[in-house]
């Protein structure tokens, strides 16, 4: 009996199988897709996990308690107490409808002498009619959901089949344009870092150091000159002065020219912003507001120039006589028409920034008198210091001009009462930031 007892004990293979099945059952219980489903159908597993696709039923999956592994059998001995508990759990409720509307529920189990009995459920005629009436609707909903699941799953499988081939094409495309691909990533990363540096230097106010600003300006200038020197034979310089390239560029080469010029133009504008920060190094009050207005003016002038910058490249691209003179002229005319609408918007924004610069008074309040400052306590609620060049807002609260100007770079409401003070006009770039969106068309 000891040998037979050892035979019926769980072997390592059976133990590993049961642990794997239990782990898969636990992952399915908590909603996580199994590793096998992720490897076989990653998109379908992702859709099921996100809830877009309903999970597949597990009715065809074998029960790990009843399936043997490699011809081995595991026996589990159930005691009398556990057997009674199982019978109580498998009891089926019996629902009885009474004529006066009350209901009673009672548990009902089969007799042990009948073996594997089945639970019996009885209901009144009212429940039967309700089930008969709702059967068609449930069936229709089930069919619709199954059709929807089939369509989504079919599309997911098609994408899973196309995805590896698409990745191969992407790798080949990157290999064909390897230098341009890495140069684009490099100049974009430098632009993002430069924008962060400019914002930090602007926020330092009077603590800015002149050697640091000079070093930043020189580094930006060397980067711009170095990139243009590297591509001096690739017609990158012509669009800078609104001249089309000598030859018709291919589509991806046109995109590369536009992205490089657009990025380096923004970095060149950062050099002018550094010069402004040097000039307004110790600015306070009205000069600080003037610094923000000048930075905003430079940014809107840059946006106007960037809107015009792709025009020569696309003009040369669309004006291709190989497609026929009528077709090329029509495409060029449509592009110039679309471009004109965006350029007009940029021109209006630029003139609005010029008008804001020429305005002497602040448009969200007025300079406070000495009596008003004394009545308010002569203490700025933002910097908690004595007021310098105090400004009386429209809500009658008084703050330092440089403090409230910096506040209105980000907000439009009063710092104390949250009343709407600043009108919705142009977006301010007084914090030294630069628009990071690419102007491709």
Same domain as 286, residue 330: yes
**424: DSSP letter:** S
Which residue is associated with the tokens 């050697």? 211
- Per-residue model confidence (pLDDT) at position 312: 93
| Beta-carbon-side half-sphere exposure of residue 336 (alpha carbons within 13 Å) | 12
Q: Which of 292, 326, 357 is at the close of a domain?
A: 357
Q: What is the pLDDT of residues 352-402, one digit of tens each?
A: 888 877 765 566 777 888 888 888 888 888 888 888 878 888 888 888 877
Whether 205 contacts 274, CB under 8 Å? no
Q: Is 250 within the bounds of a domain?
A: yes
CA torsion, points 57, 58, 59, 64, in degrees to nearest 10? 180
- Per-residue tokens: 86: 């199982």
Q: Is 134 within the bounds of a domain?
A: no
| 3-class DSSP state of 118 | coil
Same domain as 181, residue 171: no
- Per-residue tokens: 321: 């006589």
Indicate the pTM of the whole model.
0.62
Q: Crossing angle of helices 125-176/178-203, nearest 10°?
A: 100
For the chain, which ranges sit under pLDDT 70? 1-150, 282-287, 359-363, 422-426
Same domain as 156, residue 205: no
> How far is 278 from 204, CA to CA, in rounded Å?
12
Which residue is associated with the tokens 């794997």? 20
- Per-residue model confidence (pLDDT) at position 28: 47
Q: Is 95 within the bounds of a domain?
A: no
> How far is 380 from 400, CA to CA, in rounded Å?
6
Same domain as 382, residue 233: no
- Per-residue model confidence (pLDDT) at position 207: 81
**60: DSSP letter:** T
- Per-residue model confidence (pLDDT) at position 130: 44
- Measured in whole angstroms, the distance separating CA 165 from the mean position of its chain's CA atoms is 26
Phi, psi at residue 159, to the nearest 5°? Answer: -65, -40
Domain of 378, CATH number, reads 3.30.40.10
């Amino acid at each position: 009996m000891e040998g037979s007892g050892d035979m019926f004990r769980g072997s390592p293979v059976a133990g590993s199988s049961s642990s794997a099945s239990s782990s898969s059952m636990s992952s399915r219980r908590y909603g996580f897709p199994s590793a096998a489903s992720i490897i076989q159908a990653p998109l379908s597993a992702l859709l099921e996990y996100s809830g877009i696709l309903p999970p597949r039923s597990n009715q065809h999956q074998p029960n790990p308690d009843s399936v043997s592994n490699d011809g081995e059998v595991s026996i589990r001995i159930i005691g009398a107490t556990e057997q009674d508990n199982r019978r109580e759990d498998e009891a089926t409720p019996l629902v009885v409808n009474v004529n006066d509307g009350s209901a009673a529920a009672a548990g009902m189990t089969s007799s042990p002498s009948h073996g594997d009995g089945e639970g019996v459920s009885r209901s009144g005629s009212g429940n039967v009619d309700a089930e008969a009436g709702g059967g068609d609707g449930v069936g229709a909903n089930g069919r619709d959901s199954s059709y929807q699941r089939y369509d989504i799953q079919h599309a997911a499988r098609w994408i899973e089949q196309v995805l590896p081939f698409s990745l191969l094409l992407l790798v080949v495309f990157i290999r064909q344009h390897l230098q341009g691909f890495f140069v684009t990533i490099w100049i974009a990363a430098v632009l993002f870092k430069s924008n962060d540096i400019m914002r930090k230097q602007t926020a330092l106010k009077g603590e800015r150091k002149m050697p640091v600003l000079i070093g930043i300006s020189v580094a930006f200038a060397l980067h711009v000159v170095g990139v243009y020197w590297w591509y001096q034979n690739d017609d990158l310089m012509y669009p800078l002065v609104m001249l089309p390239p000598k030859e018709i560029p291919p589509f991806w080469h046109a995109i590369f020219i536009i992205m490089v010029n657009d990025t380096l133009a923004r970095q060149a504008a950062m050099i002018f912003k550094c010069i402004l920060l040097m000039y307004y190094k110790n600015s306070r009050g009205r000069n600080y507001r003037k610094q923000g207005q000048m930075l905003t003016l430079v940014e809107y002038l840059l946006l106007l120039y960037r809107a015009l910058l792709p025009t020569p490249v696309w003009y040369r691209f669309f004006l291709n006589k190989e497609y026929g003179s009528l077709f090329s002229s029509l495409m060029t005319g449509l592009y110039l028409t679309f471009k004109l609408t965006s350029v007009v918007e940029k021109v209006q924004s630029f003139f609005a920034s010029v008008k804001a610069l020429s305005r002497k008074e602040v448009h969200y309040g007025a300079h406070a008198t000495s009596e008003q400052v004394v009545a308010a306590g002569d203490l700025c609620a933002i910097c908690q210091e004595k007021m310098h060049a105090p400004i009386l807002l429209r809500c009658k609260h008084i703050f330092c001009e440089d403090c409230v100007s910096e506040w209105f770079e980000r907000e439009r409401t009063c710092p104390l009462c949250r009343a709407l003070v600043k009108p919705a006009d142009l977006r301010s770039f007084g914090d030294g930031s630069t628009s990071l969106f690419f102007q491709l068309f």
